[in-house]
């Protein structure tokens, strides 16, 4: 084997085997909740201890501690809200080695002043001993700081052993920039001892470099889909605008946030690499779609309404199946490959309304008075009954009730070449109906102008999603079906 082929094999092996990390035993997303709960327990204990210890030491009768329990609850709520709003409990900040002494003390003693003010305002100060309150005020920050120190130690050990860490991000960049991030920097800024890295090509020939980078980005896309990665961090010189634009264009189909990290020159100017106190200064070049909470809410609605609709429409679907069977030869259902969330392919279900079963490189869209449409098919398409089997896709999680309508793969591939922002439609699950459909863009899209208008409306929906918007679209869909606009 030649030296050149050996080098090619080594590069191919590197591309096909991105660095894998050990499985995570404890999800990093739960760390903020655990830390805030720990602080709340520490404050509650300090309040009860202050109420008990002061009276025990002074020999006075020990009061009912329920008032001190309530005091601890109120104090913990104020303290946690104040620090939580500043990102204190975020995993990245919790993983930094330095304890935020000043921030904790300022937050706690200002909380104490607020408690004293409310006690005076509501005239409930008589329920608490001044001595007990002072003990509470003094020992709580000691416990909070000690707890923070222990938490940072445990997080550092857990990250180093692979028992905890950021599993939802990758580093992508050139070798020099990637190597400039030391393990200490990764822990301080990203809350990880190591993250998956993908290295871009160092070839001098522009055409060879671009081809190699596209291969790497294909591996990045596959890795993201397999591991539900939520964020891409780009480590590239900011002056390399051509490669940054190329990466942005290649990843636009992926529903992830993409951030450009400060390069070595920027970090040297801001002392970024040596300061664990600074937050990551990055430029977001691609915004993530719906948040985790929004996706959970949307999925819950899909399951509940989807199952209910299946039960309600089962008689209609059974009658439709019989009608199709008696209408002529051919299967009852039409199955076609479509692209869904994150560009993953799935099989979409419909009742068969045509004499053809196109599912390849060429799919001809329906036209008015299309001779391929069967007799029963015209009725089904006019009333949108042919779409009812997609409720199964919704319940299975491949589609949503509301979202951009999926197109045949042949049309997807064609439109992606014509429209720059077309791929952004895959940032959410495709829907049975959508914003475009209730605004007159239902049915076929024979011209580029029409598909461009549909894409524009689909992107507006993605960027402006809300629960109320989905409800509006569902209501408008009922009227759109009755109007039978563009239904052929």
DSSP 345-397: EEEEEEE--BS----SS--PPP-TT-TTB-HHHHHHHHTTGGGTTHHHHHHHT
Which residues are registered as beta bridge partners of 347? 337
Using pLDDT thresholds of 50, 70 and 90, give the confidence band for residue 360.
Answer: low
Q: Say what the pLDDT of residue 274 is.
A: 41
> Per the structure block, which two tokens stand in for 58?
């002074």
Q: Look at 16-25, 109-118, 211-220 and tell me which has the smallest mean pLDDT.
A: 16-25
Domain-by-domain residue ranges, the chain? 3-20+171-286, 26-160, 292-483
**pLDDT > 90 fraction of the chain, expressed in percent and rounded:** 25
Q: Say what the pLDDT of residue 9 is.
A: 43
Q: How confident is the model over 215-228, as a mean pLDDT?
A: 85
Q: Say what the pLDDT of residue 146 is.
A: 94
Q: How confident is the model over 233-254, as a mean pLDDT?
A: 86
Pair 51, 68: CB distance under 8 Å: yes
Which residues are within 8 A (CB) of 113 and not within 5 positions of it... i.e. 6 or more apart? none
- If you average pLDDT over every residue of the chain, what do you get? 81
Q: Say what the pLDDT of residue 44 is.
A: 93
Q: Say what the pLDDT of residue 18 is.
A: 41
CB count in 10 Å sphere of residue 285:
16
**pLDDT > 70 fraction of the chain, expressed in percent and rounded:** 83
Instruction: Give the dihedral sign, CA 345/428/409/18.
Output: negative
Calpha distance 91→345 (Å, rounded) = 34
Pair 319, 297: CB distance under 8 Å: no
Examine the pLDDT at 190 and tell me if it is beyond 90: no
Q: How confident is the model over 285-300, as a mean pLDDT?
A: 80
SS3 percent helix, strand, coil of the chain, rounded to 5, is: 60, 10, 30
Examine the pLDDT at 296 and tell me if it is beyond 50: yes
Q: Which residue has the higher pLDDT, 352 or 444?
A: 352
Q: Say what the pLDDT of residue 6 is.
A: 40
Segment 67-121, tens digit of pLDDT: 888 888 999 999 998 888 787 888 778 877 788 899 999 999 999 888 888 777 7
Q: Say what the pLDDT of residue 3 is.
A: 39
Q: Which of 360, 355, 356, 366 is nearest to 337 (CA)?
A: 360
Using pLDDT thresholds of 50, 70 and 90, give the confidence band for residue 185.
Answer: low
Q: Which of 81, 71, 105 is nearest to 32 (CA)?
A: 81
Calpha distance 297→292 (Å, rounded) = 9
């Amino acid at each position: 084997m030649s030296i050149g082929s050996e080098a090619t094999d080594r590069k191919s092996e590197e591309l096909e085997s991105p660095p894998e990390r050990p499985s995570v035993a404890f999800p990093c997303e739960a760390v903020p909740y655990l830390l805030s709960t720990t602080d709340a327990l520490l404050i509650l204990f300090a309040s009860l201890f202050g109420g008990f210890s002061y009276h025990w030491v002074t020999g006075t009768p020990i009061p009912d501690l329920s008032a001190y329990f309530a005091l601890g609850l109120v104090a913990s709520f104020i303290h946690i809200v104040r620090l939580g709003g500043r990102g204190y409990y975020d995993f990245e900040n919790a993983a930094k080695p330095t304890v935020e002494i000043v921030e904790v003390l300022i937050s706690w003693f200002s909380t104490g002043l607020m408690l004293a003010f409310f006690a005076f305002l509501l005239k409930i100060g008589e329920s608490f001993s001044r001595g007990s309150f002072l003990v509470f005020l003094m020992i709580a920050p000691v416990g909070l700081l000690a707890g923070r120190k222990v938490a940072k130690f445990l997080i550092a050990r857990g990250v180093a052993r692979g028992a905890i860490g950021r599993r939802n991000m990758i580093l992508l960049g050139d070798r020099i920039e990637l190597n400039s991030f030391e393990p200490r920097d990764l822990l301080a800024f990203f809350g990880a001892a190591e993250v998956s890295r993908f290295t871009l090509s160092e070839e001098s020939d522009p055409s060879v470099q671009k081809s190699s980078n596209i291969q790497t980005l294909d591996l990045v896309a596959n890795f993201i889909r397999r591991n539900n990665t939520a964020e891409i961090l780009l480590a590239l010189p900011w002056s390399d605008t051509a490669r940054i634009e190329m990466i942005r264009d290649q990843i636009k189909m992926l529903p992830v946030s993409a951030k450009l990290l400060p390069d070595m020159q920027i970090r040297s100017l801001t002392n970024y690499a040596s300061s664990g106190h600074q937050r990551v200064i990055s430029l977001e070049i691609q915004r993530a779609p719906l948040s985790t909470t929004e996706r959970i809410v949307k999925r819950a609605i899909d399951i509940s309404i989807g199952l209910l609709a299946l039960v309600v429409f089962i008689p209609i679907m059974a009658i439709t199946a019989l009608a199709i069977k008696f209408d002529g030869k051919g299967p009852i259902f039409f199955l076609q490959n479509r692209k869904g969330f994150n560009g993953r392919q799935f099989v979409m279900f419909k009742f068969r309304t045509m004499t053809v079963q196109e599912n390849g490189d060429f799919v001809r869209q329906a036209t008015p008075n299309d001779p391929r449409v069967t007799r029963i098919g015209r009725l089904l398409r006019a009333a949108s009954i042919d779409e009812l089997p997609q409720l199964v896709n919704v319940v299975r999680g491949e589609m949503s009730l509301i979202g951009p309508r999926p197109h045949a793969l042949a049309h997807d591939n064609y439109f992606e070449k014509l429209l720059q922002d077309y791929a952004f439609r895959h940032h959410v699950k495709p829907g049975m109906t959508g914003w475009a459909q209730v605004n007159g863009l239902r049915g076929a899209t024979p011209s580029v102008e029409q598909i461009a208008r549909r894409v524009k409306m689909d992107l507006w929906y993605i960027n402006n999603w809300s629960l109320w918007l989905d409800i509006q679209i569902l209501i408008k869909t009922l009227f759109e079906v009755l109007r039978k606009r563009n239904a052929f």
